[in-house]
Structure 1
Amino acid sequence: MFLLILSIDSYSQCAGESDEILICDVENPVYKNIDLFALLGGSPVSGGTWIDNSKPLEESIFNGFLDAQKLRNSGIYTYTYIQDPTTLGCTSSNEATITVKIGPYAGYSSPNISTCDDVESFNLFQAFDGTKLAPQQNGIWTANDTSLSLNGNTINPKILGEGTYSYTYTMSALESCVAQTATVFVSVFRKPRPGSPSNLILCSTDNLAAFNNLNLNSRLQGQDSGGRWTEDELVTNELTSLNDNRINIQNIYNTLGAGTYNFTYTVLSTNPICTDSQSIVQIIIEEPIDFTGATLVVNSDICENQMATANYTAILTKGSQPVPNGIYDIVYEITNGTSTTTLAVEGTFIEGVFTFDINRLNFPVIADYTVRIISIRNRSFYNVCTNIIGTISDVLTITPMPRINSATVLIPSVCKGVAATAEISGNTNLSNGNYRITYNLSGDNTATNQQLDFTVTNGVGQLLIPANLIPNVGTNTVFNITSILDLASGCTNTASLSKVFTIRPLPNVASVVVNINTICLNQDATIRLSGLGSLTNITLDYSLSAANIISNQNVTLSVNSGNASFVIPASFLPNPGNTTFTLNTLLDNSNGCTAIILNNNQSFSVSAIPNNPVANNFNFCKNDLSTIASLTPNGTQYQWFDSVSSTTALNGSTPLVTGTYYVKEVNSSGCESGRTAVSVTINTTDLPTLDTDGQNFCGLDQPTIQNLSERTNASGILYWFDAAANGNQVTQNTLLTEGMTYYGYNFSTTTNCYSDALEVTVSLSNCDVTPDFFVPDGFSPNGDQVNDVFRIPKIEFIYPDFTLEIYNRYGNLMFKGNRDKPEWTGRNSDYNVGIDGIAPNGVYFYVLQFNKGNKKPVQGRLYLNR
């Protein structure tokens, strides 16, 4: 290693002092990571910025560690260290530069470098040892044989030919670093020669059998012997082995059809440097392109006034057979019956379409021109075949301008609202076909720039002026044609042709009103018309639809003061249902004009006669309180009567009585059925009666409902309820209750009817005994269900109005009882005795009032023991 460090700047500075380094053995690994900061002289302060002066400003800043082996050229490089003097308190310069000098390095050549003589450019730097540091790039190459060609660092082995050649690479000295050289040797090997191929091109219509044993070697020139023939993926299977060189072209076509078939001749390389060589012989079989069914359209037909500026485009479209895309040469001819012009054009078929322009000078006069294709050739084909053309042609027509200024126009008078017929004939040049005129109307009716299409046959054309353009009545409407267009050719010409005609008035039908009433089946329908104004005699056309259908019936009517009427016979109305009357037209017989009636439909109903109602006889119970509403059928369409001839229907709330009633159906249209007789029977059951004082019982006897039934005159079973309406049935063994009202009904098993209710309020106080009472002298309210209350047995039946008062020994009232409150439980919250109204153990006193028969009250005492 040769290292030379020189001090250049002796001034102390914040960035240190500049210095330099000379490197003569750059391949030494120590130069892969040079710390430039360590090379600064003086006392540099760290933390500054390093600048690589060999790079653009935006790439120049780096970390100060240099890989010298990445410098690919020998030369001088500088790196500047910059420090901020303000931050550091320095006053001297804040920059220092390290200069790095890289000496020459020529690298190490490889011992064996080879290439093939088919290579046209070989880079000599490929001849260096790739395991060593690559040589620097700014040296000079020289050929050791001055006759050899050299272009910078590349040679052309194809020109050099087979042999071995040497070249030297020189890196110049730098200061004390001496120059270096490296010599490389390149061996050039010969590549195998596969020969120059000659393709065989045939048409499918040629004599392919002449090539049934074709030697492929005969299609090569200058090839090395010993090669082998193959084909891509064995498409034809003609080659049976690597030594086979003969093919049958007739068999190829019969099997695979037209196409390009590649056969490859391969010569193997005798050295490891050159690759094998190949030549490809193509057997090309073409088929004629079939244009059968192809069409030619020459755009477009023109009028004689366009001849000076017309442009013509022809579009050739293939038929059912495919036509390959590509560039074609086409020859065509133009004939007008007197002369023929032959022309050629080059263009492109794209997806079966070929478009080309034809110069207008080829169509000089008014005539029909036939453009016909003569030949078509595909430039990408070898064109060994003659294509199938057939007849492909089109006719281009140049049409004369239509002229009618000297023609005759006839327009008969018309009714208002009806289109007017105009007839054009006489002196015109119009051939049979379709035309369109532009016209104006003036006078009584005005319109501008209107158009009408019409057909000319044998010199005569008829057209209709729309009714909406001639709404005004009068004798002075002017029809003026301003232009005419031939619809077939599109040729148009100005015109000046006029005619005056008359518009007759229509009958005024704007106020016509139709009235039809609903009818029943088999009735005639009367149609009443009003709003006919001053009309006197008219003919109507009308139709019926919906339930009854009839079309275009005519009736002639006299009109009186704007009104008229007529009858549609019942035979026209055989079906029930909604029927629509449509007034189609109204003809004023005085001038022959007919008005079309719009939206004058009137619906009416032909109502079916209802069938006689089906009804049964009825039996009701008297207490059912049945009314007419109880009978069936019922509903708003049914009416009930109390006699066959009555005209007043009975109200639904009318009570029923035994007798015969009659019902009929009246539908919504008022059509009535016949009457059906219905027998009504109102059944009654006798009301039971109660025996005298039968409501009075003695509660001591524990009387039941059965006992109450026995006090009536009913011979059967009475049914008793606890309420007059919606009550609960009371069974026969139920005990009677004091003051309770019971309702008894007698039931007939014959009519299944109940009688009216027998209402009985029971008294259980009818006891005629005066027994000695047992008044208990004590009780024990401790909840053991034994003697828990103080009660005088049966007193409520003998003395129903009794009262009982109980006092404590202090004279305070503890309890007050009666029939509804006969028991004392030893507590009474009505009186504040003890805790929670509980009476304590002890002696208590009672006062018993009988309130019956002047019997005196009694007093006594009792003992409460819990």
Structure 2
Amino acid sequence: MLVQSQCTGNDGSITICKKDNDPSNQAFNLFVHLNGSPQSGGTWTSVNPVIKNALSSDTGILNLWSINQFGTYEFTYSHPNCIETASVTVSLGGYPGEDNIAGGANACSDNSAVDLFIFLDNKLTSLTADINGTWGARDSSTAMFLNENFFNASAAGPGTYTLTYTVDTVDTCAERSADVILEVHRTPNPGLPTNIIICTTEDFSSYREVDLLDYLSGEDSNGIWEDVNQVGQITSLDDSIINIEKIFNSFGSGEYVFEYTVFPTHGNCAEGKSSVVVQIPDISANFDVKNQCLNESLNFEIQHQRPGSIFITYNLEYEILDSDNSVVFSNIINNIEMADSKGFTINHEVSLPNNTLAPGNYTIRTKEITNIIGISCDTLTATEDVFTIFHPNIEIPDTCYMSNIIEAKITNLTNNNGILSNDTLLVNYTITDMTTSQESVVSNQSINFNNGEGILDLDMSSFSKTSNNYKIEFTAAPENGTGCINQNFIVRRVPDDILLNINIDNSCDASDIRISIDAPPLSNGNYRISYSIRNLTTNQIVVDYADDITGGLPEFNLNLGHLEDGSYEIILQSTQNDVTPCREKTEFETRKNFSIGGNPEKPVLDVNQSFCLPDYTPDLPTIADLVVTQGTNLEWYESEISDVPLDIEKKLEDGVTYYVSSKNTDNNCRSSERSKVTVSLIDPQEVTSGNTRPIFCDKDIPTIADLEVISVNPENIVWYDSIQGGNELADTTVLVNETSYFAVENINGCENT
């Protein structure tokens, strides 16, 4: 393609004055104002943002009525077929708008910033006055209320003011101006209201005829009152008198609004309204004092209750009385506020030095409230409260304690009425080792108090006996007084003694003896450990040893291989020379006897022994009747492993096996084995006959065997010729007429006599 030179044409310019006179200026063609021979199809731009919505970049059509600022504007034309550009400069004269001098410009005297541009109007919606002109006044008395395009009608006051808007010269276009005659109308003044605030405890008889106008200041007199809450107090257009006592009696506490309206003299001004609010709030104050400790600051609050819209301050004089109703303290607090700057109800906190009051029960009450601001309430008072100042003591004697349980004594504990306590309390406290910071926390320990005194057992077992300095602190709130106990104390406990132990594997036939020692470490001094073995027969010391230690858990075994059979005594001793506080004992000893080869032989006896019960009638045989052929100092048992000896008077039982051991009285050792015996008890039964006077034929030669006998064991029957003693008869013995024969049961020689 052949690129032509200056396809955008040459620069052009034009001056347009009074654009408002020609509606065609809404479609002003920039292209026709280029010189030379520009080609169409290019693009129009401008760097001035004022024309953003007025220019079509494709066609070059410019809406001059949409440009609301006079001045000089440059528009650049470019084309894709050439590098060069051309421009059209437009000098646009100003448009001030139309005069408004026939009563169309009105404002109210409460408007401090009347925008004058709203009065420069015409009949066209597409054309407005330029905004970069200058406002001015015909006289200085008017100019003083002008700030750019804003007029301070509030400062100027009601009246008529002439103001001029001027657009400056542009090129050959002369300046132009438009006048606005502004009428400022008086705004209705409903006055500044003051609310009527009366507390519910007041005497309302003085509020039966209240003129609401007395609670407005600076108001127009032509207004009317409205009873917003419809409590029946405004009955006519001229009525301003209300009966607050009747309102309270009928409707109770609350807020009741009465609105005063003043109507405007011109429609451009709004009605003026002021509201006087009759507030009858529930206002109260009370002292709140918690039970406290003597050594702490005396803190209390003055608590308030009020509606959120009421702001009240007052001066309070209060007094504190003891249990005898004597005033012991008084003070004045000025400018107490019931609410903060954000409207939140606040409580007033008071802190007095500790020891302001002695221990006891007290009442705090209002003496006088003065200088109440924000409410009519001569009856305002702060409700009294009662509280107790506690000062209990805890006594922990600085002495030597044998036990880990330390007895502490709590004294002077009073109840919430200031009387010495006779209650049972559950207490919580913490004991702290001041050296190591170790703590022991105790919860719900019960203490019985009598006349203010109670015993508290402190368990110190979790602390080292070498620690002495502690602190006890009760963690309960001071409501029951124990929470006031916080005290350091000293506990000295008797130190642990050395423990000496001798363990003999078999005291009757010892082969190993083990010595163990538990010696608490000594920070000063040492232990002298010694042991010896004495032969009890010869009284000779056969082993002797000693050594020094400072503590620990030494253990060692003794060699008994060189000792002969016999009875011995081992003696283990310790002495120490430390100066540990509360040390009461420095010498310790333990002894044990033992033997080597000291067990006697087990007893010798028949392992089966029988007893004929008729021989023991009317009793039964006992353990003492058992026969031992060899063995002394016998002990009988029911089994081989039983360690409970049987009473020798215990009656024997048939078929039962008994066990017996021998005992060496010199060393109290028993035979290493037990002998046993099984007992049989023989009890022959009585023999009867169905025919005690039998008749036989002599020629038959009857014998003993022909006699009738009844027995469960007929094979064990033996016949005699006498009821006692007599001769035993053979079964072949021939019977003799009129002779008596006697039969018995014989079991292994045991007969029922």
- Larger radius of gyration between Structure 1 and Structure 2: 1
Pick 1 or 2: higher relative contact order, CA cutoff 8 A, min separation 6: 2
